[in-house]
Amino acid sequence: MASTFDTGLTEFSYLINCRLVHIYKVGGGTIGRRYQGRWGYRVTQGGTTIASGEDLQTATPKTHAEAAALAVGMAVRDTSRENVRGASTSKSQA
C-alpha cells in the first residue's frame, strides 16, 4: 500500500487558515461521516506543499473536516520545528 498522497483519491478539499488541504480516508469514505484509521492529506500554502502523506492516524472517529484540521496542525508544527532548527543553525554559524 502506498504511503504517499494520491491526488486521484482526494475526496474533499478545505481552506483552513490560508492553507489548502486535500484529504481522503484511506480505503474510502463518505463526506460527513466519521472514520478512524489512516488518512491521506496534502497541505499547501502559497502553492507550495508543506506536508503530504498517508500517515495521519486517528484513534477516534473523525470527519474529513476534522482530519483536515489535524493535518494542518501537523504541518504547522513541522514547519515551526524546521524554522527553529534553521534559526539555531544560522546563529551557530555566525
pLDDT tens profile 66-91? 999 999 999 988 776 665 555 444 44
* Predicted pLDDT at 77: 85
Domain boundaries, the chain: 7-85
Residue 63 scores a pLDDT above 70: yes
Read off the pLDDT of each residue in 16-30 and give the average, rounded to a whole number.
Answer: 96
Residue 30 scores a pLDDT above 90: yes
Spatial contact of 78 and 70, defined as CB atoms under 8 Å apart: no
In the chain, alpha helices (H): 64-93
* Predicted pLDDT at 84: 53
* Predicted pLDDT at 48: 95
